[in-house]
Structure 1
């Protein structure tokens, strides 16, 4: 009898948690985003975030999450933490398999990856990798791309120490381009050593951000995306590599490839992105060459969102920034885990809008620095 009572209490508590979870999705109001309950989210100490006086974009109304999605989401949410006492930009992440059978996304964070000397700016690294055909390439990127980039940047920084700012920007572009090429080559070699035919059909998008106090450098290859919120306005720091993007279509056709509309525009009717790491059976039509942007920081920078297309297919840049800003302002005010909650709510929003892909999100607060022990 006592056991039945305990089970009934557990069911009621679980149901209450689900209701609170549904309320995480920010709803439409005519002039603002509604305050929501979030008692079940973990918190950690943080200082209040600065907020912009700019008006916030509103969201279209959303359908609630199903019980299955709500029940399974918390177990999949994880915060990427920095090791030791290394200071880094406050950040949090969330990743879910969603409606896919397999999880092929990976994420990576490496605080103070580059620099740190007496006269050198320190940069934190953040990356989201959306695999396809399997998770092998996405995992390889998460495990090693940042290490390759660090070595390449350090080498080039020594050579460009006395160079003008414009030369430094070119250095970043070349370093990230060389990094992606080396990782792509390593994937080829690994596939050749394994002598597995399937290895050539595995690939991954990659969007990486190297964040310092003076600039943000973003490298993108594929349709994952990085978006900066500055003064209440959403600024994309990358452009999606879609086969039907005019310049990408021209490049593919010039290389002898074709873009076929087969359940969406695809390279040779197969791949829905025109750039990726791996996918060697589709080269040279599909290239690993990234597009790189170098953005000077301003005092109006608020946060950075990196995410796979599982988010961006159903959530606009403006909506994502509006939701994140609300979460950061509210959670900071009540001493909570702001960036982690923001990433989790974005994942829930994508699920509620019917995203059919894996969803991975990293939120980086650009006005908060934390020690590695805090983690977000």
Structure 2
């Protein structure tokens, strides 16, 4: 339920490793060293993203997917999502992703990763480097001192190379080997770009990322953090079941905790929330990150936090019906089976993501009446689009409105003008507070800034009554109170 706590000031002391002066010098030097090498992967950065056919990132639906996000009660919506059909101009290929930001600027980090990670992945897929070239380039980049992120990436790449050479060549098609290498490299470059970004403070802010590429019957998933992917499929008795495709990469996992402790980071839970393990600096009770891997959060990257994705593969069968990607705002209150049943019970596929989010919000209010509802983001990807039951009317109501790159980039530029307000929040979720004996004083971050045009477009005009009817049905299924659209 929680993501980040902190006792540290967000304004570092002059001369400290994170001070603006040294950080800017580091960025300039890094750009000089890396500029020529990265240029081949940045050739699309000025491409108008809103003009790319099949790219959806606002509430809506297409022939193969439904997506919806809703702001919680903690301030700015820090979740982002994307569905990109004909990904990389490849037929029968779709990219999907859900990104859950945390920290004072998590909403900006999540949106930047949403916009730039797919481009980097596509570019590396185009180049189709061999794993030896990837490892050689990483070794060049990490000459000299290496932090835990660098070492973990090398280890992950070596392990993936060995597994591909020994086992996966026989078990999996060539697309898995190629995409595995592309995912590893794209995630590495994305995190490095966030570190060098001049107008975005990622020192105590970051994002999760659960992403997938589907081409034909093949699905490759890259996951960082505690967002999740779940498959809805049929068993031998033709009963609908849920299959979790990713692992929630939290600090209490033995392998994750071992790595964090190896690099002097600390892992423990607060007395007020003993079920939530968090990552802390060696000598300071901050920032209290509730995940073991994430983009950004550079205050912890020398102490065991990494952005290396876990890569998984699935060859779809005729029994597989859909995949759901969602932020932890969904999984904190609904089980895998409940989520799959909700999506399957929707009258129209175009309303599936919305019904799921609305149901999760109701479940939050019912199960945790004293806690603030978390942000929720959902992408539902359906496989048999030819026989789909999409509602033409619902699809029309969910038309995606174009957003320019300027609007996206201008949002990042607002960081210097943001007034950060604090209010007491005992929910143990995103915030920057301080640990006190016997508990935590968690401060919820509210961004006092005029609503952006993109957020305005996220609020659809009118009411999708088919979605509301679906919410009522699943509320009955989950024994939740009767759905009241007025609340």
- The question of 1:105 aligning with 2:79 is answered yes
Partner of residue 126, structure 2: 154
| Equivalent pair of 2:117/2:186 in contact (CA under 8 Å) | yes
Q: Secondary structure at the match of 2:385?
A: strand
- Tell me which of the two structures has the higher relative contact order, counting C-alpha pairs closer than 8 angstroms and 6 or more residues apart: 1
Distance across 2 between alignment mates of 1:300 and 1:158: 34
- Equivalent of 2:277, from 265, 270, 276? 265
Asked whether the equivalents of residues 339 and 364 of structure 1 are also in contact (C-alpha less than 8 Å), the reply is no
Quick check: 2:83–2:379 contact (8 Å CA) kept in 1?
A: no
Distance, in Å, in 2 between the alignment partners of 1:104 and 1:296 is 32
Match of 2:315 in 1: 296
Task: State the superposition RMSD in angstroms.
Answer: 2.6
Which whole-Å deviations, capped at 9, do the CAs of 1:283-313 have from their partners, x for residues lacking one? Answer: 1311000001110011111011000000011
Contact 2:230 / 2:325 at 8 angstroms: preserved in 1?
yes
Contact 1:115 1:154 in 2 (8 A): no
2:94 maps to which residue?
124
Q: Distance in 2 between matches of 1:110 and 1:126?
A: 6
155, 171, 175: which is aligned to 2:178? 171
Secondary structure of 1:103's aligned partner = coil
What TM-score do you get using the length of structure 2 for normalisation?
0.53
Q: Alpha-carbon deviation of 1:169?
A: 2.2
- Measure the CA separation in 2 of the matches of 1:151 and 1:239: 27
> How far 1:168 moved relative to its partner?
3.8
Query: Structure 1 pair 155/122, CA: closer, same or farther in 2 (3 Å)?
Result: farther
Task: Please list every run of 5 or more consecutive structure 2 residues that lacks an aligned counterpart in the other structure.
Answer: 1-57, 132-163, 235-239, 281-285, 366-372, 399-487
- Segments of structure 1 that go 5 or more residues without pairing to the other structure are 1-76, 82-88, 332-337
After superposition, give the CA deviation of every residue in 1:10-64 in whole Å (9 maximum; x if it has no partner).
xxxxxxxxxxxxxxxxxxxxxxxxxxxxxxxxxxxxxxxxxxxxxxxxxxxxxxx
**What is the SS of the residue equivalent to 1:219?**
strand
Report if the CA contact (8 A) 2:65-2:83 is conserved. no
Q: Which residue of 2 aligns with 1:249?
A: 257
| Aligned partner of residue 261 in structure 2, secondary structure | helix
2:357 corresponds to 1:347: yes
Which residue of 2 is the match for residue 307 of structure 1? 326
Per the normalisation by structure 1, the TM-score is: 0.67
Equivalent residues, number: 273
- Find the aligned partners of 1:115 and 1:166 in 2 and give their Cα distance: 21
Match of residue 384 from structure 2: 367
Secondary structure of the residue aligned to 2:247 is coil
Question: 2-side partners of 1:211 and 1:267: how far apart?
Answer: 33
Structure 1 residues 95-148: Cα deviation after superposition (integer angstroms, max 9, x where no partner): 1112221111111121111463xxxx6310111000011212101111111111
Specify the SS of the correspondent of 1:137: helix
